[in-house]
Amino acid sequence: MNKELIEKSEQDLIVAKKFTKIHQSARSRDLEFAMTLREVKRLLNCKTCYFTGKPLNNIEGDPLQLTFDRIDNTKGYVNGNVVACSNEFNNIKDNITIEQVRLMVKAFKRKKIW
């Protein structure tokens, strides 16, 4: 096998593992799951955090590790509701809404905290 084919196979395996992981997570939390392998692959190829613009990496446990976040936590893993973001931001955001994040950022800026 040539090197390119091996690399493609490894990438496909990573996509399949992530797809399976989020599908199982959705099922265990009784959330809708309607993502495709293509969508998961597109998100895994994102280079920057959707929310902060910081560069993402694949280092396990790193604050900038690429994770998936549901924009609207009342919805499941459906197309348009899932973005690539940093582990750091995903943990901070937890279950608050994007609107609540915007309000927090405005408050921080007003108080010159951020």
Instruction: Identify the domain containing residue 64 by its residue range.
Output: 3-110
Does position 97 have pLDDT exceeding 70, yes or no?
yes
Output DSSP code: residue 68: E
Does position 1 have pLDDT exceeding 70, yes or no?
no
Q: What is the pLDDT at residue 28?
A: 97
CATH of the domain at 35: 3.30.40.220
> Could you read off the pLDDT of 23-67 as tens digits, one per residue?
999 999 999 999 999 999 999 999 999 988 999 999 999 999 999
> Could you read off the pLDDT of 98-112 as tens digits, one per residue?
788 888 888 888 887
User: DSSP E strands: which ranges in 23-102?
Assistant: 66-70, 82-86
In whole angstroms, what is the distance from residue 10 CA to residue 112 CA?
46
Q: How many domains is the chain built from?
A: 1
Q: Classify residue 100 as exposed, middle or buried by CB count within 10 Å of its CB (0-12, 13-18, 19+).
A: exposed
